[in-house]
A and B are shown apart, each in its own frame.
Chain A
């Protein structure tokens, strides 16, 4: 089943066209990898899905992005949308507060004040990102004292705290060491049972390991998309093959 669908999506930064006629379907409870060389528009595309591009001046978007059949640019309240479609960023960016407060932040801004309810959410979210065992004894310590990998899992827990349906991940492991990367990759396998994950990555092995579907972006267009195995082993387009085998990019 498709949870997100884009129809003839164009995006302009001022006069520069960053996305050209994107038509992509994202399957529910799957991991979709967006690959392509730097500047190809994959991050821009990711950020149109929860309207993060709204923050940038001079962005013009035409075409449709449908989430569960509703156009997110006309039928949806942006705050509701971002609750449903959470985002994890390239660099771990915990808030300068305690581990507990980081995870409780989302529920709190949405009006949950009850302490035991918050405790429950914090525990569930931290277990969801497999960080609970490492931090349960120091929930009141500053989040900035955690290692980079722990910080990134904290950011994932923070995103899970508002119970989203979709997780957008913008190169979530590019700032992490191999062991932390492995942990996040294992986590993604668990996450896709409950969530739909869309991940931007520069790491071909990672895309191959973790994703069910892959879309290859080049110069603002989708060259090819579909089942990851097909894209990696039987690409239809010469440019896809060249990129995956490392001949350019």
Chain B
């Protein structure tokens, strides 16, 4: 067979594989959105779930998912970016570095249900907090930390490449170099990583089942406190998220329209994840353009 024909065949095969991936995603999204197509109603999005009767909403879970996301990002971002800076700029190659890397890689491949059970043991029982947003956020932080560390490390490495010597050459200290030049130029990539991680956090269920609990009492926005259990912003209250609620409806739904609610909630969930992913791209390229002076 001549080389040109071979090249053509392989091109077609590779196109077909990529096309299949796109098709798979499209079918999945369309199927989920179609089954949950009636989600756009006020009583569903902003209503409370009902017990034993049809027509309940998802408002508390929706809020919980966002709040959980914010709390866990507040924990993960400083840790992940900090570890990324350390690995990229301070750590010297050697035994210690290899051990740290091995630990992070192992952490990255832990199944989320294992992290959830670990969270139950440590963040729920040992701390005597019970099922709380804080426990859930910490479990998710454990899950997310390795990915964010890797994103930050890579971003900082590639940002540092050309400008680090220029900054040090002007007599800047290593910390001035990191904080004033390297971090700002690594920011678009880190931000993209954070938003993509947000999509994963938003959809996480297994790690939250036994840490943030499976109850979502109606929220009353009249008290604002981080500790008072009756406040929606309390870190110390149980908080069932959207993903956990979907799992619960399918596993042990006690309402007559359980599967309908689950379908609609899934549509909302997947739309949110899509929004996160698309905005990651848009924000990333916006910042890149403003840096590179293309606009």
| A→B interface (CB under 8 Å) | 50, 52, 55, 57, 79-83, 86-87, 89, 91, 93, 95-97, 105-106, 109-110, 141-146, 155, 158-159, 161-162
By a CB distance below 8 angstroms, the chain A residues around B290 are 142
By a CB distance below 8 angstroms, the chain B residues around A161 are 170
Q: A83-B171, A91-B162 are in contact. Are A57 and B293 (CB under 8 A)?
A: no
Chain B residue nearest to A144 (CB atoms) is B292
- Give the CA-CA distance A161 to B293 in the complex, in Å: 23
Query: Is B93 within 8 A of A79, CB to CB?
Result: no
Q: A109-B176, A145-B293 are in contact. Are A80 and B171 (CB under 8 A)?
A: yes
Q: Would you call B8 an interface residue if the criterion is a C-beta within 8 Å of the partner chain's C-beta atoms?
A: no
Interface residue from B93, B162, B184, B293 paired with A142 (Cβ < 8 Å): B293
- Give the CA-CA distance A7 to B91 in the complex, in Å: 33
By a CB distance below 8 angstroms, the chain B residues around A146 are 293
Interface residue from B171, B173, B176, B291 paired with A96 (Cβ < 8 Å): B291
Chain A residue nearest to B289 (CB atoms) is A142
- Give the CA-CA distance A79 to B175 in the complex, in Å: 13
- Give the CA-CA distance A97 to B184 in the complex, in Å: 9
Query: Is B165 within 8 A of A87, CB to CB?
Result: yes
Query: Is B292 within 8 A of A55, CB to CB?
Result: no
Task: Give the total of B residues in contact with A, Cβ under 8 Å.
Answer: 24
Q: Would you call B144 an interface residue if the criterion is a C-beta within 8 Å of the partner chain's C-beta atoms?
A: no
Q: A105-B180, A109-B176, A109-B180 are in contact. Are A158 and B291 (CB under 8 A)?
A: no
Query: Is B291 within 8 A of A159, CB to CB?
Result: no
| B→A interface (CB under 8 Å) | 92-93, 162-173, 176, 180-181, 184-185, 290-294
**Main SS at interface, chain B:** helix
Chain B residue nearest to A92 (CB atoms) is B162
Query: Is B166 within 8 A of A145, CB to CB?
Result: no
Q: A95-B181, A96-B184, A144-B293 are in contact. Are A109 and B170 (CB under 8 A)?
A: yes
Chain B residue nearest to A145 (CB atoms) is B293
By a CB distance below 8 angstroms, the chain B residues around A86 are 169-170
By a CB distance below 8 angstroms, the chain B residues around A79 are 171-173
Q: A57-B93, A91-B162 are in contact. Are A159 and B170 (CB under 8 A)?
A: yes
Most buried by A among B166, B169, B172: B169
What's the nearest-Cβ distance from chain B to residue A166, in Å? 12
What's the nearest-Cβ distance from chain A to residue B55, in Å? 53
- Give the CA-CA distance A81 to B169 in the complex, in Å: 9
Q: A95-B181, A105-B180 are in contact. Are A158 and B292 (CB under 8 A)?
A: no
Query: Is A55 within 8 A of B165, CB to CB?
Result: yes
By a CB distance below 8 angstroms, the chain A residues around B93 are 57
Q: A141-B293, A142-B290 are in contact. Are A106 and B165 (CB under 8 A)?
A: no
Query: Is A106 within 8 A of B170, CB to CB?
Result: yes
Query: Is A93 within 8 A of B293, CB to CB?
Result: no
Query: Is B169 within 8 A of A50, CB to CB?
Result: yes
- Give the CA-CA distance A52 to B165 in the complex, in Å: 8
